[in-house]
């Protein structure tokens, strides 16, 4: 794996005199304290993070935690006052804050593209014209543009709607236009700023699935901002949890559930629904349980089998499930194990 | 109260000195400006009146041709039978009353004034939207232009540009131009920041942001500015007549001087018909109508 984006001690401050605020950042002062003392707004404080090529990393936190701001450091839209951003491109790493204006535009046209929370589509344009917006800015010739636009419309299943105005579409369809616009430039890195937050839950889940489906085919590097831990766990390979401008913890969903770094993360985790994230291996009782000899084994599963499938199996036929890896039984699961597994993240001793 | 009035601050003299200075040092500029504006009005009049047909058999038919063209334009803009019919009948009534020549002169003045106001006003509105300090300077000037009685700046306009259509045009522009400036600025600053950010995120240059995002977003406001400019220009026709601009203002002023009710009413009716036609043809949408 190679790094696609690297943040090295990135600090972002909104205001006229960032140096004064940086001093307080170094003293470990909080966002509120810095705001009170200097009148400046701390966006992000000393964030270091590496996003691997081809992974989905979710930046997660409450509003004001700096997640959207850190996202905008990748394409140079947020005022980074200290630290380094390095984004891998074909021509070597680029720091959007240290490159020329022309190279930055080129970088935004071809290397990173973005999807927005409120879609940010141009309402006076048609669907096709919106999808081609990035290509139009890059002066891609008409013919190639309409070919690439048609490809993207096909991908997001909006071909029929190509000549409609965007405000005739539902929210979910509008965001698919937003996705197609971002895909159209062919940029390998995708920034997604709470893209599904404005949608109702059913549509949200569907678009999450579609995104994962696109990702299987397109293999982009995705930096995804969310305030919803369930969403983060559903789509993220790794999750970075932010609070007050600082990254508190970064790891895989399992690592975060098993080992929350502090009370803030623990509170988040306590309120989430783990059912879609856990696997047979997470809830099983290692070895062959004493009880297993008394009750019948009703089926087998691999350690990576999703917990929901185990639940379905046990609902059909009560008993024990054997967890089999490489031909050997490595553990068993009964109803009690599942209840413990589902509530483990709520208990401190986890 | 003697102490208060014993020394009169030389405000009036100051203004006079400034206008004198403009007259002497800016003569070439005002002459050039005057020539350009006069030429554009002459061109419009040439098209509307068709002097090349004078003395031929077609002289009488030319107004009808213009009426057909204007009605066709009304159809093109509105796709409404009512508006088109009103335009045609209204203009025919004007011909019937014998005010066609004056109407073409007024139309030329209004179109020229609106064109100047828009071509100068839109860039100024964009500049004001981009740089708050420019707007800070502009704002009191715009307020002044809209509140100072028109007759006051007719005097320097008369001195700088002489008698005729041009000072009428200048006075009309001064009166009308704050509308497109303010509305263009309003349209541009109300562009949602997320749209601008999206354009930047896809690599737009500042020029592309303006051309592809801000101006299209501001277009309804800019069109409202155009409608307002046309209406404000039309409301200046009588005042423009005082500095020698031809048009429907002239019979109104004459009727006033000779207490001629019939003539005054006829000319006034022609102005109203013209106003209704221009308003209906150029109004962008009833919903977004600010004027």
On whether the CB atoms of residues A206 and A157 are closer than 8 A, the answer is no
**What's the CA angle centered on A271, arms A269 and A277, to 5 degrees?**
60
Nearest chain B Cα distance for residue A243, angstroms: 24
Beta carbons of B199 and A113 less than 8 Å apart: no
Taking all residues of chain B, what is their mean pLDDT, rounded to a whole number? 90
> What's the distance, CA A182 to chain centroid?
16
Calculate helix-pair angle for B27-49, B100-130, nearest 10 degrees: 130
For position A333, what pLDDT does the model report?
87
Beta carbons of B204 and A138 less than 8 Å apart: no
Chain A residues in contact with B212 (beta carbon < 8 A): 122, 133, 136-137
Token pair recorded at residue A20: 């004064």
Mean pLDDT of the A54-64 span: 92
State the DSSP code for B210: I
> What is the enclosing helix (H) or strand (E) of A329?
strand A328-333
Closest residue in A to B194 (Cα) is A120
Alpha-carbon distance values, A112 to A95, A220, A349 (Å): 12, 10, 42
Question: Mean pLDDT lowest for which of A143-152, B199-208, B236-245?
Answer: B236-245
Looking at per-residue pLDDT, the higher value among A342 and A350 belongs to A342
State how far the Cα of A107 lies from the Cα of B177, in Å rounded to an integer: 42
On whether the CB atoms of residues A231 and A196 are closer than 8 A, the answer is yes
In a domain, A97, yes or no: yes
For position A253, what pLDDT does the model report?
86
In a domain, A135, yes or no: no
Closest residue in B to A138 (Cα) is B203
In a domain, A60, yes or no: yes
Token pair recorded at residue A27: 């003293």
Token pair recorded at residue A215: 């990702």
The reply to whether A200 and A79 lie within a common domain is: yes
In a domain, A117, yes or no: no
In a domain, B288, yes or no: no
Token pair recorded at residue B237: 């026709």
Indicate the residue of A107, A118, A137 with minimum beta-carbon distance to B208.
Answer: A137
SS3 B248: coil
Closest residue in A to B220 (Cα) is A124
The CATH number linked to A230 is 3.40.50.300
In a domain, B188, yes or no: yes
On whether the CB atoms of residues B138 and B194 are closer than 8 A, the answer is no
For position A258, what pLDDT does the model report?
77
Interacting residues of A234 by C-beta distance below 8 A, sequence separation 6+? A208, A276, A277
CB-based contact (8 Å) between B209 and chain A?
no
In a domain, B153, yes or no: yes
On whether the CB atoms of residues A282 and A335 are closer than 8 A, the answer is no
Closest residue in B to A108 (Cα) is B203
- Write down the residue that tokens 């508006």 correspond to: B83
Domain count, chain B: 1
Of A272, A291, A320, the last residue of a domain is: A272
For position B177, what pLDDT does the model report?
94
State how far the Cα of A348 lies from the Cα of B165, in Å rounded to an integer: 88
Give chain B's radius of gyration (CA, Å): 22
Token pair recorded at residue A329: 């039984």
> What are the pLDDT digits (tens) for B22-38?
888 888 888 898 999 99
For position A296, what pLDDT does the model report?
67
Following DSSP, what letter does each residue of A269-324 receive, concatenated?
HHTS-GGGT-BHHHHPEES--GGGGTSPEEEEE-TTSBHHHHHHHHHHS-SEEEEE
User: A180: closest CA among B211, B205, B202?
Assistant: B202
CB-based contact (8 Å) between B197 and chain A?
yes
For position A268, what pLDDT does the model report?
83
CB-based contact (8 Å) between A183 and chain B?
no
In a domain, A98, yes or no: yes
Cross-strand partners of A224 = A58, A192
CB-based contact (8 Å) between A69 and chain B?
no
> What's the distance, CA B74 to chain centroid?
19
Domain count, chain A: 2
In a domain, A166, yes or no: no
pLDDT-based confidence at A293, cuts 50/70/90?
low
pLDDT of B262 above 90 = yes
In a domain, B106, yes or no: yes
The reply to whether A288 and A229 lie within a common domain is: no
The CATH number linked to B237 is 1.10.3720.10
The reply to whether A83 and A193 lie within a common domain is: yes
Beta carbons of B192 and A120 less than 8 Å apart: yes
Mean pLDDT of the B136-141 span: 95
Cβ burial, residue B244 (10 Å; 0-12/13-18/19+): middle
Cross-strand partners of A57 = A223, A238
For strand A189-193 and strand A285-286, is the pairing parallel, antiparallel, or unpaired? unpaired
Give the structural domain span for A255.
3-111+187-272
For position A295, what pLDDT does the model report?
64
Beta carbons of A137 and B204 less than 8 Å apart: yes
For position B23, what pLDDT does the model report?
86
For position B56, what pLDDT does the model report?
80
Of A254, A272, A290, the last residue of a domain is: A272
For position B74, what pLDDT does the model report?
93
For position A294, what pLDDT does the model report?
61
pLDDT of B287 above 70 = no
Interacting residues of A211 by C-beta distance below 8 A, sequence separation 6+? A179, A235
User: B174: closest CA among B123, B240, B224, B218?
Assistant: B240
The reply to whether A195 and A335 lie within a common domain is: no
> What is the enclosing helix (H) or strand (E) of B280?
helix B261-282
The reply to whether A326 and A208 lie within a common domain is: no
Interacting residues of A286 by C-beta distance below 8 A, sequence separation 6+? A330, A331
CB-based contact (8 Å) between A198 and chain B?
no
pLDDT-based confidence at B98, cuts 50/70/90?
very high
State the DSSP code for A40: P
For strand A246-251 and strand A320-325, is the pairing parallel, antiparallel, or unpaired? unpaired
> What is the enclosing helix (H) or strand (E) of B194?
helix B193-201
Torsion of CA A94, A99, A103, A105, to 10 degrees: 100
Of A211, A239, A272, the last residue of a domain is: A272
In a domain, B4, yes or no: no
pLDDT-based confidence at A350, cuts 50/70/90?
very low
State how far the Cα of A81 lies from the Cα of A47, in Å rounded to an integer: 12
In a domain, B3, yes or no: no
In a domain, A162, yes or no: no
pTM: 0.83
> What are the pLDDT digits (tens) for A224-248?
999 988 899 889 999 999 999 999 9
> What are the pLDDT digits (tens) for B50-74?
888 887 878 888 999 999 999 999 9
Mean pLDDT of the B204-212 span: 94
> What are the pLDDT digits (tens) for B177-186?
999 999 999 9
CB-based contact (8 Å) between A116 and chain B?
yes
For position A289, what pLDDT does the model report?
61
Mean pLDDT of the B200-227 span: 94
The reply to whether A331 and A191 lie within a common domain is: no
Give the structural domain span for B43.
21-282
State how far the Cα of A122 lies from the Cα of A6, in Å rounded to an integer: 32
The reply to whether A289 and A231 lie within a common domain is: no
In a domain, B130, yes or no: yes
Interface test with B, best of A108, A120, A130 (most B CBs within 10 A): A120
- Kindly report the number of other CB atoms within 10 A of residue B86's CB atom: 18
State how far the Cα of A345 lies from the Cα of A337, in Å rounded to an integer: 14
For position B290, what pLDDT does the model report?
42
The reply to whether A196 and A331 lie within a common domain is: no
In a domain, B16, yes or no: no
User: A273: closest CA among A343, A222, A220, A203?
Assistant: A343
pLDDT-based confidence at A176, cuts 50/70/90?
very high
The reply to whether A193 and A299 lie within a common domain is: no
The CATH number linked to A299 is 3.90.1280.20
Beta carbons of A105 and B203 less than 8 Å apart: yes
pLDDT over 70 percentage in chain B: 97
> What are the pLDDT digits (tens) for A263-291?
888 888 888 777 877 888 888 888 776 55
Interacting residues of A342 by C-beta distance below 8 A, sequence separation 6+? A274, A275, A278, A283, A307
SS3 A260: coil
Chain A, window 7-66: residues with a beta carbon less than 8 angstroms from a chain B beta carbon: none
**What's the CA angle centered on A255, arms A349 and A9, to 5 degrees?**
120
The reply to whether A7 and A104 lie within a common domain is: yes
State how far the Cα of B180 lies from the Cα of B186, in Å rounded to an integer: 10
For position B54, what pLDDT does the model report?
80
pLDDT over 70 percentage in chain A: 97
> What are the pLDDT digits (tens) for A6-28?
999 999 999 988 998 999 999 98
For position B289, what pLDDT does the model report?
41
Indicate the residue of B192, B195, B203 with minimum beta-carbon distance to A108.
Answer: B203
> What are the pLDDT digits (tens) for A67-111?
999 999 999 999 999 999 999 998 889 999 999 999 999 999 999
User: B249: closest CA among B102, B151, B149, B113?
Assistant: B102
């Amino acid at each position: 794996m190679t790094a696609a984006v690297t943040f090295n001690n990135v600090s972002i401050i909104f205001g006229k005199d960032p140096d004064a605020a940086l001093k307080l950042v170094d003293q470990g002062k909080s966002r509120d304290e810095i705001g009170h003392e200097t009148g400046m707004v701390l966006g992000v404080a000393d964030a270091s993070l590496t996003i691997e090529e081809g992974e989905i990393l979710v930046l997660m936190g409450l509003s004001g935690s700096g997640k959207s701001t850190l996202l905008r450091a990748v394409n140079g839209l947020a005022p980074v006052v200290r630290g380094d951003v390095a984004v891998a491109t074909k021509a070597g790493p680029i720091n959007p804050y240290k490159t020329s204006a022309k190279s930055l535009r080129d970088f935004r046209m071809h290397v990173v593209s973005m999807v927005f929370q409120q879609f940010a589509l141009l309402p006076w344009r048609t669907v096709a014209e919106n999808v081609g917006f990035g290509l139009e800015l890059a002066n891609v010739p008409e013919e190639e543009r309409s070919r690439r636009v048609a490809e993207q419309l096909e991908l997001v299943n909006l071909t029929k709607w190509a000549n409609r105005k965007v405000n005739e579409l539902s929210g979910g369809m509008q965001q698919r236009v937003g996705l197609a616009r971002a895909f159209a430039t062919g940029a390998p890195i995708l920034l997604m700023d709470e893209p599904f937050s404005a949608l109702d839950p059913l549509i949200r889940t569907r678009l999450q699935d579609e995104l994962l489906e696109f990702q299987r085919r397109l293999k982009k590097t995705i930096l995804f901002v969310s305030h919803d831990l369930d969403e983060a766990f559903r789509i993220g390979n790794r999750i970075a949890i932010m609070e007050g401008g600082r990254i508190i913890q970064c790891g895989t969903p399992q690592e975060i559930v098993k080992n929350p770094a502090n009370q803030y993360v623990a509170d988040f985790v306590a309120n989430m629904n783990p059912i879609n994230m856990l696997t047979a291996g997470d809830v099983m009782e290692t070895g062959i349980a004493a009880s297993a000899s008394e009750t019948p084994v009703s089926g087998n599963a691999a350690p990576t089998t999703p917990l929901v499938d185990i639940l379905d199996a046990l609902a059909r036929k009560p008993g024990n499930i054997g967890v089999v890896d490489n031909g050997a039984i490595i553990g068993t699961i009964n109803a009690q194990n599942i209840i413990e597994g589902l509530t483990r993240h709520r208990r401190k001793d986890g | 109260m003697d102490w208060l009035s014993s020394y009169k601050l030389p405000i009036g003299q100051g203004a006079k000195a400034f206008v004198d200075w403009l007259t002497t040092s800016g003569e070439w500029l005002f002459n050039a400006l005057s020539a350009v504006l006069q030429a554009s009005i002459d061109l419009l009049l040439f098209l509307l009146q068709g002097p090349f047909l004078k003395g031929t058999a077609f002289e009488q038919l030319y107004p009808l041709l213009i009426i057909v063209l204007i009605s066709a334009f009304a159809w093109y803009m509105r796709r409404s039978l009512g508006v088109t019919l009103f335009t045609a009948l209204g203009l025919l009534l004007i011909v019937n009353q014998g005010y066609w020549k004056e109407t073409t002169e007024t139309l030329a003045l209004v179109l020229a004034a609106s064109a100047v106001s828009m071509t100068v006003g839109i860039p100024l509105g964009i500049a004001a939207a981009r740089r708050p300090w420019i707007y800070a300077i502009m704002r009191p000037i715009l307020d002044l232009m809209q509140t100072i009685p028109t007759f006051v700046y007719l005097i320097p306009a008369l001195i700088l540009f002489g008698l005729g259509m041009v000072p009428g045009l200048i006075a009309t522009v001064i009166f009308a131009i704050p509308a497109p400036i303010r509305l263009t600025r309003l349209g541009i600053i109300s562009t949602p920041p997320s749209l601008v950010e999206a354009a930047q995120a896809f690599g737009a240059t500042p020029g592309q942001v303006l051309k592809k995002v801000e101006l299209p977003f501001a277009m309804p406001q800019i069109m409202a500015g155009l409608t307002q400019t046309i209406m404000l220009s039309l409301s200046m026709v009588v005042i423009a007549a005082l500095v020698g601009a031809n048009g429907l203002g002239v019979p109104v002023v004459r009727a006033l001087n000779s207490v001629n009710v019939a003539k005054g009413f006829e000319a006034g009716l022609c102005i109203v018909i013209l106003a209704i036609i221009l308003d209906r043809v150029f109004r962008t949408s009833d919903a977004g109508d600010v004027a």
